[in-house]
């Protein structure tokens, strides 16, 4: 199954398109297009690792290959980037581990 995820991460303005693909409903690889240099590094690193086992990613007792890679690559101001969430959700849907539904984060500054 192929799943497309479009992420608009916020103030940086670097929109990202993620395609999560699997042929066996378990091992997922990604095609990621973005103008963000940091996400391009993340995409290359994920590509070098090959398909990610979605079932292992969902196992709370194990390590997350995807999130460990994100932590290695996205540091500083990018540590809170919304793109990794989009990648993870796309992986879940591609592997049949979640239903496709939009995710939204709304941020509003509050006065004290």
Predicted confidence at residue 78, as pLDDT, reads: 79
d(CA 92, CA 67): 14
Regarding the domain delimited by 2-94, which CATH topology (the fold level of the hierarchy) does it fall under? Answer: Sufe protein. Chain: A (3.90.1010)
Tell me the average confidence (pLDDT) per consecutive run of 10 residues in the chain, 112 residues long: 94 95 97 96 96 93 91 84 95 97 92 86
Mean confidence (pLDDT) of the chain: 94
pLDDT digits (tens, 9 = 90+) for 71-83: 999 987 777 899 9
Tell me which residue has tokens 């303005």: 13
Strand partners, 52: 28
């Amino acid at each position: 199954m192929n799943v497309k995820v479009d992420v608009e991460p916020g103030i940086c303005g670097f929109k990202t398109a993620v395609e999560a693909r699997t042929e066996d409903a378990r091992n997922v690889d990604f095609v990621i297009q973005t103008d963000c240099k940091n996400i391009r590094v993340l995409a290359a690193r994920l590509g070098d690792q090959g398909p990610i086992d979605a079932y292992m990613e969902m196992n709370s007792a194990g390590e997350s290959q995807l999130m460990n890679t994100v932590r290695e690559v996205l540091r500083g101001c990018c540590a809170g980037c919304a793109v990794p969430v989009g990648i993870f959700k796309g992986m879940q849907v591609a592997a049949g581990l979640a239903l496709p539904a939009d995710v939204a984060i709304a941020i509003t500054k509050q006065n004290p």
